[in-house]
Structure 1
Amino acid sequence: MRYGFVAFSAFTLFSLGLTGCALRPFEQREPWRTQAEEACLARGLVTPSEDVVPTKAIDGPGVCGMEHPFRVTRLAGGTVALKQRMTLACPIIPEVEAWLAGTVQPAAQLYFGQPVVEINSGSYACRGRNNQLGAKLSEHSFGNAVDVMSFRFADGYVVTVKGGWRGTEAEQGFLREVFLGACNHFTTVLAPGSNIYHYDHLHLDLARHDPRGLRRICKPLIKFQPQLPPPGTPLSPIRKKPPAWQPAPDPAPIDVEEDDPYGATPMSRHEPANPSRVARSPVPAPSVPAPTQAYAPRPSAPRSAAALPDGPLPLSAPTWSSGPIY
């Protein structure tokens, strides 16, 4: 009996040791994370509601967690549902809201003539980057990141990042608009083609890549001419005012990244693309013009809230570069 108890205790300690190694027990939680959370709350950047509910602090394992987490079931005033409930820190919530209002919904109206009503996304998870044991902790470990796998429209049609990135012209155009628009709100934006781990989702986070928060990562570099007008310009849906686009002969590929050579990674559940969209939809899919130049970030509109003390600075003068993948 005693031998069995000792053996069980030894096994438990060994397992905890492995877990500690996997979560990098000597990694410290940077002070700016708590400062950003508290500043966000002090400025009232997130309004609690039945869809955005503050909950108790998450402390551990290791340095994972957040001081003031929110459980989010809907966004955009309840008009955009979440297929999976998200747990997020305060600072990223207003940026997701601003991205939805300023880019996602205008792009949805432009390419499909209807709004997005649900997104399938992932949030808090205490894990290493790319789900690798022993790797540096992902921003998901601090509620500071969102993964978006798909968008569902008002008529029930679903555009998945996995299927739509190289899907119909409308799907490609929509996903590239929301990808490039996200680069104006988040410090890290990764899409299919950035690496083998992000072939099926958009990764968005507010990581600080340098002490001053000036460095930005937006990958992959693509050739695409955004069709959304500057923020604040009234938008005419394609069904009412078709764009004067002319298909170019033998158009070049819409982007320059390579296909995923490995084909699959252990990510979240996916929704299958619906190839019948163009055939049944009354909304003609726009012809995406041949690429004209590599994308350079457009001047950002004012962010949804002022920069937080010691947090990321406004994105009006970013430094874009490659860097570690999340």
Structure 2
Amino acid sequence: MGSRIAYLLAWMTLAAGLYGCGGGGVPYQPRAEWRDQAEQACLKSGVVRASSYVQAAPRLKGPSACGLQAPLKVSGATGGRVALTPTATIGCPMTAALDRWVQNSVQPAAYRQFGTQVVEVKQIASYSCRGRNGSRRGRLSEHSFGNALDIAGFRLANGHEITVVKGWWRGTPRERAFLQEAFAGACREFYTVLGPGSDRFHYNHIHVDLLVKNASRGRHYCRPQPGRGGVPVAEAPSGDLTTTASIKPIPFVGPGED
């Protein structure tokens, strides 16, 4: 009898721990309706289409609220002209936003600073069911929904590589200006942008995501703010940048809750 009671108590303790963390050390969090709505709206719009560099993957359902209804394996942007390495697992809205950012901000910055184009974007984190900054408490990271990317560097057509960890603070003036311009463009495109200087976790990459509650009254959560804590952001050319991208912003539906 004693062993049975001990076994029952151990099982109850384990079950309570799994419930409190969402399973496997992941914070528990209900899934907001806007996530699936945004994913479906993006897919139905047709702005992101299957190709050799955007491929559909089986549904992801992790512990807690983690997962994607229709995950995409993305290995390229802007018509496949820019490689994304390694292949990222993200949702449709992030895929569309990545394309717009590369087209409207990253490439113009590369041409201004180096006279050539970016041919590769290097990322170090896409879908991953975990808490923010790896914590087992608090809120789930947007990575848990395929709604975030961590950008670590870029490669130009001439072979020149620019990394966030080296280029942001200690790079050449052109490398620093390029990263700051790309960062400022990300702040216009994504709803959350965190880079070196924002906290101790983002010293080697630029985190971008589409958490709707961080898009309020036309303003996005961006740290550090462009032009502060680093080299000044170069002024954009007069007039709006045009794009030949085949995608347009996808409006998110539902309350700004995560």
TM-score range, shorter chain: 0.7 to 0.9
Q: Distance in 1 between matches of 2:184 and 2:240?
A: 14
Give the letter for the 1:59 counterpart: K
Bigger proportion of residues as helix: 2
Find the aligned partners of 1:213 and 1:125 in 2 and give their Cα distance: 29
Return the alpha-carbon distance in structure 2 between the equivalents of residues 74 and 107 of structure 1: 19
What is the CA–CA distance in structure 2 between the aligned matches of 1:99 and 1:140, rounded to whole Å? 18
Q: Helix, strand or coil: the match of 1:196? A: coil
SS at match of 1:77: coil
SS at match of 2:166: helix
Displacement of 1:213 after TM fit?
A: 7.5
Q: Which residue of 1 aligns with 2:253?
A: 310
Amino acid aligned to 2:58: K
Structure label with greater radius of gyration = 1
SS of the residue corresponding to residue 154 of structure 2 reads strand
Separation of aligned partners in 2, 1:144 and 1:226 = 29
Name the structure 1 match of 2:190.
186
Find the aligned partners of 1:225 and 1:212 in 2 and give their Cα distance. 23
State whether structure 2 residue 14 is matched by structure 1 residue 14: yes
Matched position secondary structure for 2:213:
coil
Is residue 155 of structure 2 the alignment partner of residue 152 of structure 1? yes
Following superposition, the deviation at residue 233 of structure 1 comes to: 7.0
Matches within 5 A, 1:135-214: 135-166=138-169, 167-209=171-213
User: Which consecutive unaligned segments of at least 5 residues does structure 1 have?
Assistant: 235-302, 314-326
Residue 44 of structure 1 corresponds to 46
| Contact 2:96/2:249 (<8 A) preserved | no
TM-score (norm 2): 0.83
> Are 1:129 and 2:119 matched, yes or no?
no
| 1:1-326 paired onto structure 2 within 5 Å | 14=14, 17-18=17-18, 21=21, 22-25=25-28, 27-121=29-123, 122-166=125-169, 167-209=171-213, 216-221=220-225, 222-223=227-228, 224-229=232-237, 230-232=239-241, 304-310=247-253
By how many angstroms is 1:94 displaced? 1.0
Distance 1:311 1:116, change over 3 A: farther
Structure 2 unaligned regions, length at least 5: none
How well do the aligned residues superpose, as a CA RMSD in angstroms?
A: 3.0
Q: C-alpha distance in 2, partners of 1:212/1:206? A: 12
Q: By how many angstroms is 1:64 displaced?
A: 0.3
CA shift, 1:306, in A, is: 4.4
Look up the SS of the partner of 1:209 in the other structure.
helix
Q: Deviations over 1:222-261 (max 9, x none)?
A: 3424233143379xxxxxxxxxxxxxxxxxxxxxxxxxxx
Amino acid at match of 2:119: V
One-letter amino acid matched to 1:120: K
Verify the 8 A CA contact 2:41 2:250 in the aligned structure 1.
Answer: no
Greater share of strand? 2
CA distance in 1, matches of 2:39, 2:107: 27
CA contact (8 A) 2:191 2:215 kept: no
Which residue identity lines up with residue 251 of structure 2 in the other structure? L
2:89/2:127 contact within 8 Å kept: yes
Q: Distance in 1 between matches of 2:119 and 2:17?
A: 44
User: How far is 1:23 from its partner?
Assistant: 1.6
Q: CA deviation at 1:170?
A: 0.4
1 CA distance for matches of 2:62 and 2:127?
12
Q: Aligned pair in 2 of structure 1 residues 210, 76: CA closer, same or farther (>3 Å)? A: closer
Secondary structure of the structure 1 residue equivalent to 2:122: strand
The 8 Å contact of residues 104 and 242 in structure 2, kept in 1 or not, is answered as no
Aligned residues: 240
